[in-house]
Amino acid sequence: MQPHVLIMLEFKTLSLEDKTWVDELVKEEGCFSAGYSFGTIYIWNSNYRHLVARFENRMIEKLRYSDEPAFTAPIGSGSVRPALEALLEYCDSRGQRLMLRGVTERQMAAIEKECPGRFEYTEDVDFADYIYRAEKLATYSGKSLHSKKNHCNRFEAENDWDFVPLTRELIPACMDMMDRWTEENAQRLHKSIVYEHEALMKSFAAYEKLGFEGGVLRSGGKVVGFSMGEFCRADCFDVHFEKAYSDINGAYPMVCREFTRMLMARHPGLVYMNREDDMGLESLRRSKLSYRPEFMVRKFTARWIYD
């Protein structure tokens, strides 16, 4: 495949005004991955320095990992080949090597069909998304999730609690809870917490415009946990944030269960919950595995093979 595209790609910072067309292409892609939805790109652009370009009926993200430029697989509909040709031309004009990050197995198959043997792939194990059956998280049914149910039972017995939708009025209390949570966990937190905090603040600031949905767990009227996210495809909700006080027994399982129940009541078509990746952190990996994922969204880095 040789680049012969006449229209050069133009990358720009994503703004809230871009949500309509991005949402359309995300819907057409129908991908389980957490990396392509509008909210993900918008709230995390300070970390990954997201830029986006539209080429025909596809969207391409430009990223930076360790100061090395990279792109996502072009998402949308129609043949992926023209967008890849545009990317190759873009990289050639800048003396860069074409690299795609976060490529799913389905996307890899589409790329190989259009450009057989032109990319080499390496798996990024730390960035695989954990996908769960919503019904299982809403009930903690089965032997493997029995301990989660027991923790919830204890929480319910020990607390005067409720779980309510996250609204603008509750955001200040959630921010206060997050500040306290950060202070209490400062010694063990990964450096990414700085970016996460900024992403969370952006989420709260544009909560309604982003179309996010969230829920808040309270005990005695005080916020002890919350969760928030958006749909990444029609039957799968992507949980961007989930926070709770770890010293309150059962708070985390309760947030997960009650938020899933709330979403299922609102959206009868909901089947899966994407609880995103573990970033290679062993403690986070153990936690995510303990909820028994239905399957993983494996992700790969694809590098163009230069002759």
Confidence of residue 65 (pLDDT cuts 50, 70, 90): low
Amino acid 187: pLDDT: 64
pLDDT, tens only, 244-301: 999 999 999 999 999 999 999 999 999 999 999 998 889 899 999 999 999 999 999 9
Does the pLDDT of residue 2 top 60, yes or no? no
What pLDDT is recorded for position 194? 72
Whether 234 and 30 have beta carbons less than 8 Å apart is answered as yes
Helix/strand/coil percent split, the chain, to 5: 45, 25, 30
Sequence-ordered alpha helix ranges (H) in the chain: 19-29, 38-43, 45-48, 81-93, 105-114, 134-139, 146-158, 171-184, 193-205, 207-210, 251-266, 282-290
For residue 74, pLDDT over 70 is answered with yes
Looking at residue 49, its pLDDT comes to: 77
Q: How many CA atoms lie within 13 A of 163 on its CB side?
A: 22
Q: Are 163 and 217 in contact (CB under 8 A)?
A: yes
**Relative orientation angle of helices 171-184 and 193-205, to the nearest 10 degrees:** 170
Check if the beta carbon of residue 292 is closer than 8 Å to that of residue 135. Answer: no
**184 pLDDT more than 90:** no
Strands 299-304 and 119-123: antiparallel
Q: Which two tokens stand for residue 223?
A: 């916020």
Query: Is the predicted pLDDT of residue 4 greater than 60, yes or no?
Result: no
- Structure tokens belonging to residue 265: 């009541």
Query: For residues 46 and 87, which has the higher predicted lDDT (pLDDT)?
Result: 87
Q: Tokens standing for 202?
A: 């952006």
- Which residues are within 8 A (CB) of 178 and not within 5 positions of it... i.e. 6 or more apart? 197, 200, 243
Please say whether the beta carbons of 50 and 37 come within 8 A.
no
pLDDT confidence band for 183 (50 / 70 / 90): confident
Banded pLDDT at 116 (limits 50, 70, 90): very high
Tell me what the mean pLDDT of segment 189-217 comes to: 88
Q: Which three-class secondary structure string do you get for 23-51?
A: HHHHHHHCCCCCCCCHHHHHHCHHHHCCE
| pLDDT averaged over every residue in the chain | 92
Q: What pLDDT score does 1 carry?
A: 60
- Any idea which of 5-14, 15-24, 269-278 has the lowest mean pLDDT? 5-14
